[in-house]
Amino acid sequence: MPFKSNLLLDALGDLERHSLVPHLARRELKQRQILFDVREAVNKIYFPTDAVISLVIPLSTGEQVETAMVGRDGVIGAIPALNGLASVNRAVVKIAGQCFVCEIEPFKNAVAKHSNLQRLIAAHVQVLFAQAQQSAACNATHHIESRLARWLLRAADLRGGNELSLTQEDIAAILGVRRTSVTVVARTLQQAGMIKYARGHIRLLDIPALQETACECYQAIKSNYDALIQPDGNQAVLSPTLAPAGD
């Protein structure tokens, strides 16, 4: 595959991979693109490689609450597609990038044939459920500075790089706070040398300091993934956030 990989696909054995690869198409995802919406049928499966996709619940006020996010660690749309059910959330691209796309029928055929693929999909669903629970606890109890550090670190993990294209409006929507609050916190992190922020672009500079600032939820979400996605008895560990720029 001629560009960044998807870790869930990498965790497959040769037989499962050979069943899927001929049916994967490379696609570019644009920021804020909606892949599917609440109560919509899902007609494609997405395996992000460096795009980051949020699963959100839209409210009548126009706000969107993020419950989980997926990047190069997993898959979007698998369960509603397999069950023939409508989606219960909106999948929106938060950070633009590339992905592999698969039509439903070849994906369903591959899952029906291969128990390891079935296990990985089931484990990924459990990871997303755990992530949603952790996010609910985090949003209810942790300070915005810790939450922002946690989200930036997780997004960098899922993108596979420490350069993130996000506006302050995007971040405010993700965290469920006012834009002015994001401005203050982002300035604090920048003055501490942890990030560099300018014109909708964030660069993570001091990863250890961000990890110290982040709440426990960052490591909890990451550990859940490492514990559950275990192909052939070995952990498929999501790589740590990249080293600070310049290393």
Predicted pLDDT of residue 229? 67
The model's pTM:
0.87
Helix, strand or coil, per DSSP, at residue 93: strand
Amino acid in the structure at residue 90? R
CATH code (residue 159):
1.10.10.10
Residue 178 resides in a domain = yes
Regarding whether 99 and 167 lie in a shared domain, the answer is no
**Domain end residue (candidates: 139, 174, 206):** 139
Regarding whether 17 and 131 lie in a shared domain, the answer is yes
Regarding whether 189 and 135 lie in a shared domain, the answer is no
Regarding whether 74 and 130 lie in a shared domain, the answer is yes
Q: What is the number of structural domains in the chain?
A: 2
Domain range for residue 166?
143-214
Q: How far is CA 204 from the centre of its chain?
A: 17
Residue 242 resides in a domain = no
Regarding whether 38 and 59 lie in a shared domain, the answer is yes
Mean pLDDT of 77-106: 92
Regarding whether 170 and 127 lie in a shared domain, the answer is no
19-48, pLDDT tens digit by residue?
998 999 999 999 999 999 999 989 899 999
Q: Which two structure tokens, joined as six digits, stand for 72? A: 């190069």
Regarding whether 53 and 160 lie in a shared domain, the answer is no
The C-alpha atoms of residue 110 and residue 13 are separated, in whole angstroms, by 12
Mean pLDDT computed over every residue of the chain: 86
Predicted pLDDT of residue 230? 54
Helix, strand or coil, per DSSP, at residue 42: coil
Helix, strand or coil, per DSSP, at residue 147: helix
CATH code (residue 112):
2.60.120.10
Predicted pLDDT of residue 198? 86
Residue 105 in this model has a pLDDT that exceeds 80: yes
Regarding whether 133 and 21 lie in a shared domain, the answer is yes
The C-alpha atoms of residue 173 and residue 10 are separated, in whole angstroms, by 32
**Domain end residue (candidates: 139, 154, 169):** 139
Q: List, as own/partner pairs, every contact residues 239-242 make where C-beta atoms lie below 8 angstroms and the sequence separation is at least 24, other chains included.
A: 239/157, 239/160, 240/157, 241/153, 241/156, 241/157, 241/162, 241/204, 241/207, 241/210, 241/211, 242/156, 242/160, 242/161, 242/162, 242/204, 242/207
Helix, strand or coil, per DSSP, at residue 40: coil
132-177, pLDDT tens digit by residue?
888 888 888 889 899 999 999 999 999 999 999 988 888 888 787 8
**Domain end residue (candidates: 139, 167, 196):** 139
Residue 237 resides in a domain = no
Residue 121 resides in a domain = yes
Mean pLDDT of 38-59: 93
Regarding whether 17 and 115 lie in a shared domain, the answer is yes
C-alpha distances in Å from residue 114, one per residue of 40, 107, 146, 213: 27, 11, 41, 42
Mean pLDDT of 217-229: 83
Regarding whether 188 and 76 lie in a shared domain, the answer is no
Regarding whether 153 and 121 lie in a shared domain, the answer is no
Predicted pLDDT of residue 116? 86
Regarding whether 82 and 168 lie in a shared domain, the answer is no
The C-alpha atoms of residue 231 and residue 242 are separated, in whole angstroms, by 24
Residue 14 resides in a domain = yes
